[in-house]
Structure 1
Amino acid sequence: MSAPAAESLDAPERRADRRRLSAPALFFLAAGGVIGSGWTLGGLLADQGAGSWAVFSWLIGGGLMLVIASVMVILSTVAPKTGGLIFLPLQASGPVLATVVAAGLWVFYAINPASEAVAMTRALSGWTQARGVIPAHGNGLTGTGLGWAVALMLAVTAVNLLGPRLFLVVNGVLTVFKILVPVLIVLLLLYAELHPSGRAIHVSAAPAPLPTASVASSGASSSSGHNDLATVLTTVTANGVIYAYLGFQGPLDFAGSVRRSGRGEAARMRRAVYGTVCGSILLYVALQLVVVYLRHHTGSAQTPYTDFAQTVAPSWAAHPMSILINLDQVLSPAGAAMVFTYVLTREVAALSRAHLTHRGLQMSRYSVIAVRGARLRRLVGERLDVYWLILIVDFVISTVALLCMDGNWIVLGSITTVLALVVYVTPSVVLAALGRGARRDTVRRRHRVLAEAAFVSIAVIFLLAGWDRLWPGMTALTVGCVLLFGMPKWADGRRWYDARLHAPQLLRLRGEHANSARSAWLLYGFFGVITLVSLLNEFVWPTHLAVRLATAVPVAALAAVVFRALVDLSEQYMAVHPPTLPEPMRARDAADGAAIHGLEPALPAQSSPSSETALPSQPAQASG
């Protein structure tokens, strides 16, 4: 075949590849999800928990996130699939375990916009001096404040109706601004150290974004004098540190829709995720040093960043900097909520395609909006692939969570953190199981060791969160599981709900899907046992933080046993139900490189369907 003919045949694939996510889009998804209300509130909460030692809490939390991210990146390159956080557990461990993971992920992603809306509401009330938004006593919002928060969540949902093309542009511009302002604050700290102003930092009379009294007791306080290792570790989960790092998995939710040409999918994925995690570690540690500076010069770490900027910045820059900081304290949570809302639609669509929830959620008539008007079509295309029905369902879930928690940022953030840790353990199990079976030639032994280390580390950090944080999160997981398993039973025979196949399998510990049911019960029971251990720590010896470290040793040993049992069950399940997996990214990159150089790529050892080749937002028509 002549070169022009080959090029013409390759043109459609090249055009489709250009519609995939580029390296900047991947990075902005990851960084946009991470840089939210965590940097505006996390430093103050961490200081209340561990004082100056909170710097080590950020380092430990960031190290844990780096280990988890490494496992998830490896899995995404081994089996790249959009919606993979649900699809891959389904393939490796079966529908019952996948439904438990889906319940945790759905609630985790849906509650995050509620917590970010609370942070936006608090920031707006402090900036505009609005009254009647934050109660004089208490940790939540007043009725007026809840109304503000619901309106802000509605605005976030509306932005997602712009379509993927405009959304990615808006998110990219917003993320650049979100990163720039915290970096400027850190640069002001360096300026203050080199050019001390000699002025006392003015403490604003406006309410702080999160009053000290609103922090639930975690057994750690910077004023108690117990700034030891136990306090530092407790602060990692109990004072917003882990919460601030959540969101890096955005590119992994689109692993099947990464641009291939040039540097290749795997390189783009690694750079986006690792760059975000490592950059956020440096940024959060530096911001914690700003909080330490504030406490050293004012005797309190509750001084807002705006007061810091007005005092230490040059006179010509003080006012503009305070405006930028106030604006970013609203836009950062808004951007993170936008990203979580965006990626959740793709995960729920994957759940719907797998028939683990209503199949209609991802059908074309509920996920496509026809565009009218020539000008608008030139801007956004012929149609908007926005999964609008899923957006409505997620908005309802977020609103219910917001109202049930009375706008309490601490509780909402705790639920998000706990559910994230539950969801984050499953990639470790899937990676190790695939390394024994379907991807034995791709997954190395060091990858399986890393997966086990991530699983055990998550279990220990989960325990150290404490009972006050764990029981709301486990309750939310239980409610999600009851709904996903119970709806098919309750709606049996009704046309509006058609996912009926997986619910009866939960109680079938023998038979075709027995291993999946056992895996689900084992995973849920394991975190339930850790929650009960945290209850004992809370009521039997609540004042001895070091006991939590001692308790963590048997929990770590139990985690290693449970991890290997889950891997064995997944391997047995895949022996009966061979997984249908996309080809690894390395094979794609090698094939693309061979095509570029005019060579015939080698045939893969095991043929399997490739992952999505369409635009990541392209909804699939439900079968049946």
Structure 2
Amino acid sequence: MSEKNVRKELGTFALLMTGLGTIIGSGWLFGAWKAASVAGPAAVIAWVLGMIATVFIGLTYAELGTMFPQTGGMVRYAQHSHGPFVGFLSGWANWIAIVSVIPVEAVASVQYMSSWPWEWAGRLYDGQELSPAGLLLAGALIIVYFLLNFWTVRLFAAANSAITVFKLAVPLLTVAGLIAAGFHAENFTDHGGFAPHGWSGVLTAVATSGVVFAFNGFQSPVNLAGEAKNPSRSIPIAVVGSILMAGGIYILLQVAFIGAVSPEQAAKGWGGIHFNSPFADLAIALNLNWLALLLFADAFVSPSGAGITNTATTARMVYGMKENGYMPKIFGSIHPKYGVPRAALWLNLAVAFVFLFLFRGWGSLAEVISVATLISYATGPVAVMVLRQRDVANRPIRVKGMGVIAPVAFILASLILYWATWPLTGKVVLIMVLGLPIYLYYQAKEGWTDFIPRLKAGLWLIGYLAFIVLVSCLGSERFGGYNLIPYGVDMLLIAACALAFYFWGIRSARRAGSVREDREEKVRKAWIASL
């Protein structure tokens, strides 16, 4: 089977709802609490910074998505610009980041259930991770996500659009209810001030407290570009529109959360506030029982909507990686009747269960997802500028100012990756390295003739990741480092060197003719046909 079996049935509204439905997942249920624990009231600024950075990054992928309206597009652009080695590293990072979102959304639903007013519910979560009963329930939710994607694209789109409308209403009602019931404006200035942990706390909140994780869903419309009716119009609207709409909601939720916390709780320090179900617990404390019930219901709907969408997009990623040559042929099979990559769905179901049992709490897994995502984002700004210089036949839009947007996006992604703190940055880069044996296996099947040129095209990315890890280790203690590079100087160093790596990446792009010729060359490869 091939891309010709993919059904082009998704319109602009469906894609916008897909992006928004993925963004408004478990991030809004926990993100405000986690960000406040790290940054205090200044967490509001963290959401603004996260939204701005994601818009810059998203614009690069919006142009790529219209240039290559392919299924699983996020794992394929670096392949077109720099060849298989960079393509694999980028695709692997992106796939790991997104496939692990599926179990974290199920975990979020069960974690909220633990605050239900029944004894059995309290046994689902112990304050740190899910119990065996909680894991069983989360596993059942993952299977539901799988089944909703197994039959048809239309069923997925219809279910997601309906869920997203509900998901938009509940956060807005939460904001209104909390502000009306008890808003303590003094929380923004008392109890250590607006930024009790300094501005480094704000920056760390962007990277590790669910902010980057929350905005990650913008790439869903890009991964579904191959199924869009009119990608040149729909993809930019869906990407930018979903980021801005969700960003406004997240900022309002953060303001409402800070104001709703009782001054007695805030006086103990923002880092000491603990909730199993943050907004629901606040609603119960304020006697908003109607809101608590609505939140308990939405704790299934919001994460489940994101889980359903990510189940769809990760299957398209596996399909895209197979098209790049890194997965067995079976994962490129598109069902001729239903138009979905069923074998890829089965693979992601298995991987989701592995992540579910390895990471049983929302916070720790959200951190790993955020850093892995940022690594994959680094290739987008470079790829879009490389492919602008190529003879790409399909170029329906050119985002104005991309010459500035792309390097700014690369610098912002690099800074957020650094803010994720040491040793988390090093651990996630190590996860990226663990995927290399898969690439080497397929390289061996093809032969080693082209290995050195492909490696040379990716030296900039290897150097970039090594540089980030080194500065993270030696950098300011405010970001977990050994303080050999002082605070302030560390971020200037990251920004300046990131710009150098950005231009190195552009110059490193392979000169193998047009993208169309590269595709034809790949199709002719006998080793792909023999998989």
| TM interval, short-chain normalised | 0.7 to 0.9
Residues 222-621 of structure 1: matches in 2 within 5 Å?
A: 226-260=196-230, 265-300=231-266, 302=274, 304-309=278-283, 318-364=288-334, 367=335, 383-405=337-359, 407-439=360-392, 443=398, 446-482=401-437, 484-488=438-442, 500-501=445-446, 512=450, 514-537=452-475, 547-570=486-509, 573=510, 575-580=511-516
Superimposed CA distance per residue, residues 371-402 of structure 1 (whole angstroms, 9 cap, x where no aligned partner): xxxxxxxxxxxx33332221121122122222
Equivalent residue, structure 2, for 1:150:
139
- Offset at residue 159 of structure 1 (A): 1.9
Q: How many angstroms apart in 2 are the aligned matches of 1:331 and 1:17?
A: 28
Greater fraction helix = 2
Helix, strand or coil for the counterpart of 1:126? Answer: coil
Query: Does structure 2 conserve the Cα–Cα contact (< 8 Å) formed by 1:415 and 1:476?
Result: no
Distance 1:176 1:546 in 2: 47
TM-score, length basis structure 1: 0.73
The equivalent of 1:3 in structure 2 is none
Contact kept in structure 2, 1:93 and 1:515, CA below 8 Å: no
Gap change, CA 1:36 and 1:445, over 3 Å in 2 = closer
Query: Which whole-Å CA distance do the structure 1 matches of 2:486 and 2:257 have between them?
Result: 29
In 2 relative to 1, CA 348–244 (structure 1 residues): closer, same or farther, beyond 3 Å?
same
Give the structure with higher Rg (CA): 1
Higher mean alpha-carbon deviation, 296-305 vs 424-433, is at 296-305
Alpha-carbon distance between aligned partners in 1 of 2:284 and 2:196, rounded to the nearest angstrom: 33
Q: Is the 8 A contact 1:117 1:149 kept in 2?
A: yes
Aligned residue type for 2:298: D
> How big is the shift at 1:28?
1.2
Q: Contact conserved, 2:208 with 2:370, CA < 8 A, in 1?
A: no
Report the AA paired with residue 471 of structure 1: G
Aligned: 1:134 with 2:121: no
CA distance in 1, matches of 2:517, 2:317: 17
State how far apart, in whole Å, the 1-side matches of 2:200 and 2:488 are.
7
Query: What secondary structure, in the 3-state scheme, does the structure 1 residue paired with 2:338 have?
Result: strand
Specify whether residues 222 and 58 from structure 1 end up closer, same or farther in structure 2 by C-alpha distance, changes over 3 A only: farther
Deviation at 1:174, TM superposition (A): 0.8
Partners of 2:476 and 2:483 within 8 A in 1: no
Task: Tell whether the 8 Å contact from 1:125 to 1:131 is kept in structure 2 after alignment.
Answer: yes
Q: Distance in 2 between matches of 1:176 and 1:276?
A: 13
**Structure 1 residues 576 and 222, CA gap change in structure 2 (3 angstroms):** farther
Amino acid paired to 2:495: A
Q: CA deviation at 1:287?
A: 0.4
| 1:467-526, Cα deviation, whole Å (9 max, x unpaired) | 1432332232222333x225548xx8xxxxxxx32xx65xxxxx6454432233431331
Tell me whether 20-29 or 141-150 shows the greater mean CA deviation.
141-150
Q: How far has the Cα of 1:542 moved from its partner?
A: 5.5
2:358 partner amino acid: C
* Residue aligning to 1:183: 172
Q: Distance in 2 between matches of 1:473 and 1:245?
A: 19
Q: Secondary structure at the match of 1:384?
A: coil
Aligned partner of 1:123 in structure 2 is: 112
TM-aligned CA distance change 1:327 to 1:285, over 3 Å? same
**Cα distance per residue 1:441-472 (max 9 Å; x no partner):** 97578312211111111111111110143233
AA matched with 1:392: W
* CA distance 1:241–1:425, shift in 2 (3 Å): same
* Counterpart contact for 1:515–1:569, Cα < 8 Å: no
Identity percentage of aligned residues = 24
2:418 counterpart letter in structure 1 = L
SS of equivalent to 2:201:
helix
State the shift of 1:320 in Å: 3.2
Q: Measure how far apart 1:286 and its partner are.
A: 0.5
Aligned to 2:76, the other structure's residue is in SS state: helix
Deviation at 1:298, TM superposition (A): 4.8
What amino acid does structure 2 have at the position aligned with 1:420?
T
**Counterpart amino acid of 1:447?**
M
Partner of 2:102: 113
Q: Determine the C-alpha separation between the residues in 2 that align with 1:444 and 1:98.
A: 23
8 Å CA contact 1:537–1:548 kept in 2: the answer is: yes
Letter in 2 for 1:238: T
For the residues of structure 2 that align with 1:461 and 1:415, how far apart are their CA atoms? Answer: 13
Letter in 1 for 2:353: T
In terms of mean alpha carbon deviation, does 35-44 or 153-162 score higher?
153-162
Residues 50 and 235, structure 1, Cα contact 8 Å, conserved in 2: yes
CA RMSD of aligned residues (A): 3.2
2:62 maps to 1:88: no
CA contact (8 A) 2:473 2:482 kept: no
Q: What is the TM-score normalised by the length of structure 2?
A: 0.85
Equivalents in 2 of 1:576, 1:542: separation in Å? 41
Inter-CA distance 512–577: structure 2 relative to 1 (3 Å threshold): farther
> How far did residue 75 of structure 1 move?
2.3
| Pairs aligned (count) | 500
TM-aligned CA deviation for residue 84 of structure 1: 2.1
Give the Cα separation in 1 of the matches to 2:474 and 2:485: 14
CA distance in 1: counterparts of 2:481 and 2:72, whole angstroms: 41
Change over 3 Å in CA distance of 1:311–1:231 after alignment to 2? closer
Distance 1:112 1:481, change over 3 A: farther
Aligned 8 A contact 1:516 1:569 in 2: no
Shift of 1:548: 4.1
Taking the aligned partners of 1:414 and 1:396, their CA distance within structure 2 comes to 22
Q: Report the Cα distance in structure 1 between the residues aligned to 2:30 and 2:214, rounded to whole angstroms.
A: 9
Q: Which runs of 5+ in 2 are unaligned?
A: 185-190, 267-272, 521-527
Q: Aligned to 1:527, what secondary structure does the other structure show?
A: helix
The worse-fitting range, judged by mean Cα deviation, of 223-232 and 104-113 is 223-232
Question: Which amino acid counterpart does residue 43 of structure 1 have in structure 2?
Answer: A
